[in-house]
Amino acid sequence: MTGPALVIGAGPAGLMAAEELARAGHRPLLVEARPTAARKFLMAGKSGLNLTKAEDDALFASRISAPWLRPIVEAFGPTAVRQWAEGLGQSLFVGTSGRVFPTGMKASPLLRAWMGRLDGMGVTLRTGWRWNGFAGDGLSVDTPDGPRCLTPAVTVLALGGASWPRLGSDAAWVPWLTDRGVTCAAFRPANMGFVIDWSPLMARHFGQPVKGCALTAAGQTVRAEFVLSARGIEGGGIYELSAPVRDGAPLTLDLAPDLDQAELTRRLSRPQGKQSIGNHLRRTILPDPVKLALFLEWGRPLPGGPAALAALVKALPVRHQGPRPLAEAISSAGGITADALTDELELKALPGVFAAGEMLDWEAPTGGYLLTACLASGRHAGLVAARRL
Ligand SMILES: Cc1cc2nc3c(=O)[nH]c(=O)nc-3n(C[C@H](O)[C@H](O)[C@H](O)COP(=O)(O)OP(=O)(O)OC[C@H]3O[C@@H](n4cnc5c(N)ncnc54)[C@H](O)[C@@H]3O)c2cc1C
C-alpha cells in the first residue's frame, strides 16, 4: 500500500511535509512510530505553545545557527506561520518580548484542526508504524500487523532530534543513515539547564525564581528569570545562553543590573560595624535572600573591600558542572550535517530521500524559533519532494 510519497515522523516537520505533498495533489502515507501523532508538539503546548516570534523574517532567520537553513526559514517565517495557524482557526496573541502563542495557550486545538485538514486532503496517517532501517532499496517498517517493506518514489524523513526520547524522537535512525553514507554530527543538548553541585545551605531556595538579574556569556547579555532546583539552574535566562555556555564560555551573573559599580561601591562603603558580611550585603545592596545566597555560594572566598565586592556583584561567575542531560533538554544540536544535504534538503547519498526538522544539524534559542524552523523545513522538503513526482 505504499503510495509514491512517504513521510516518516508525524511531528510538526513531518505533518507540514505531508500537507505540502497533499496540496500538490499526491496522497502521502505518513507513518508514526508512537500510538499518536505529534507528542512533543503537544508537550510544547503545556508551556503555552510558543509558535513563533513577532519579528522581521530576516532577523528571525538570523537566530537559526545554520546559515544554509536561514533562506528556508525566511521563506516561511513568523508572518507565514501566524497566517497558517490562523488559517486553522486558531486565534493568536503576542506575549512578552514578541513571542506568539495560541490564545488558548494549548497545542491540542491546533493539532486537532490540522489533523482534520490533512485527513481531508488525502493524507493517510498510520500510527504504531516504526521505520527500522533500510532493506535493500526499500524501507523496512514494523507495523501492528507485522513487518513491511515500503518502496516509495520519494520519502521525507522527519524523525526529530534526540531530546525527550520518550515522546518518540529517540535518534535510533542515526546508524541507519550513517551506514548509507549520510554524515551526522553527534547530538548535544540545546536549551537546557546546568548541573550545580550546591552546598546544603542552598536547599531552602530550591524552586524559587531568580528575578531581576542579567546573565552574560560570550559577549551576550540577557535579562530573564531562571529557577534554582536540586539539580541545578534552568529556565528562560539560562536557555538563552545555553549554547555558548555548553561549548565552554564562562557564564556570569550581574545581581544588581540597575546599579552601576560605583553606586554599589558607595553603598558597600557604609560602615559595616559588627554586622556579618552577609548582613552588610543584605542591608546595602542585596536585599533579596535568593540573590544574597547565590552571591555567597559562588562568590566565596569573598574578596576584601567594597570595590572588589561590587565588581563581583556585577560579574559573579556561575560555578556549574556542565549541561543537564540530552534527554531533559528542550531541543538538541547535531544531526544530519549540511554537507550531507542539497539546498533542497535531499540527502546526497540517498536521492529521493529528503529530511526536515530537528533531525538536521542546527539549533536555535527558545522563542518560537524551533517550531517555526521545523515547520519551514518540513514545508520545503514537502514542496521539493512533490515536484519530483
Ligand atoms: C518540553 C518542550 C517544550 C517545547 N516548547 C517549544 C515551544 O514553545 N516553541 C518551540 O518553538 N519549540 C518548542 N519545543 C521544541 C519543539 O517541540 C521541537 O523542536 C519540535 O517538535 C521538533 O519537530 P520535529 O517534527 O522535527 O520532531 P518531533 O516533534 O520530535 O517529531 C518527530 C516524530 O517522529 C517520530 N519518529 C521517530 N522515530 C521514528 C521511527 N523510527 N519511525 C516512525 N516515526 C518515528 C516520533 O515519534 C515523533 O512523533 C519544545 C520541546 C519540548 C521538549
- The per-residue pLDDT for 230 is 97
Closest-CA residue, ligand 1 atom 30, reads 160
pLDDT, residue 97, reads 86
Res. 167: pLDDT tops 90:
yes
Q: How far apart, in Å, are the Cα atoms of 124 and each of 12, 168, 225, 314, 355?
A: 16, 19, 43, 57, 19
pTM above 0.85, yes or no: yes
Give, for ligand 1, the residue of 36, 39, 40, 53 to mutate: max count of ligand atoms closer than 8 Å to Cβ.
40
Assess whether the C-beta atom of 34 lies below 6 angstroms from ligand 1. Answer: yes
Please tell me if the CB atom of residue 18 comes closer than 6 angstroms to any atom of ligand 1.
Answer: no
| pLDDT score of 2 | 57
Locate 97 and state its grid cell. Answer: 518580548
Q: Does the CB atom of residue 158 touch ligand 1 within 6 A?
A: yes
Average pLDDT over residues 162-168: 98
Minimal CA–CA distance to 340: which of 320, 322, 354?
A: 354
Would you say the CB of residue 253 lies under 6 angstroms from ligand 1? no
What contacts 213, CB < 8 A, 6 or more positions away? 223, 226, 237, 253, 254, 255, 257, 291
pLDDT in tens, 11-41: 999 999 999 999 999 999 999 999 999 999 9
Mutating to test ligand 1, I would choose from 46, 353, 370, 379 the residue with most ligand atoms within 8 A of its C-beta, which is: 370
| Per-position DSSP letters for 75-144, written without gaps between them | TT-HHHHHHHHHHTT--EEE-GGGEEEETT--SHHHHHHHHHHHHHTT-EEEET-EEEEEETTEEEEEET
Q: Report which protein residue has its CA nearest ligand 1's atom 35.
A: 9
pLDDT score for 299: 97
pLDDT tens digits, 316-356: 999 999 999 999 999 999 999 999 999 999 999 999 999 99
Instruction: Summarize pLDDT for 170-179 with one digit per residue, the tens.
Output: 999 999 999 9
The pLDDT value given to residue 40 = 98
pLDDT single digits (tens) 301-320? 999 999 999 999 999 999 99
Supply the residue whose CA is at minimum distance from atom 2 of ligand 1.
44
Q: What size, in residues, is the chain? A: 389
Q: SS3 of 241, please?
A: coil
Answer whether residue 1 shows pLDDT above 80.
no
Tell which atom from ligand 1 comes closest to the C-alpha of 49: 8
Residues 6+ apart with CB under 8 A from 314: 254, 255, 256, 261, 264
pLDDT (average), residues 278-306: 96
Distance from residue 39's CA to the centre of ligand 1 (Å): 7
- Ligand 1, residue 173: give the atom nearest the CA: 41
Alpha-carbon distance 199 to 193, whole Å?
A: 18
Q: Which helix (H) or strand (E) holds 176?
A: helix 174-178
User: In angstroms, how far is the first alpha carbon of the chain from the final one?
Assistant: 17
Q: d(Cα 43, Cα 147) in Å, to the nearest integer?
A: 30
Find out whether the beta carbon of 63 lies less than 6 Å from any atom of ligand 1: no
DSSP 8-state secondary structure symbol assigned to residue 169: -
For residue 38 the three cell numbers come to 505529534
Q: How far is the CA of 172 from the centre of ligand 1 (A)?
A: 14
For ligand 1, atom 6, the nearest C-alpha belongs to 44
- Residue 268 clears pLDDT 50, i.e. is over it: yes
Under 8 Å between Cβ of 257 and 316: no
Cβ-Cβ contacts under 8 Å for 130 (sequence gap 6 or more): 31, 33, 141, 142, 143
Cα separation, 99 vs 121, in Å, equals 30
Q: Which of 234, 330, 345 to mutate to test the pocket of ligand 1 (most atoms within 8 A of CB)?
A: 330
Q: Is the CB of 50 under 6 A from ligand 1?
A: yes
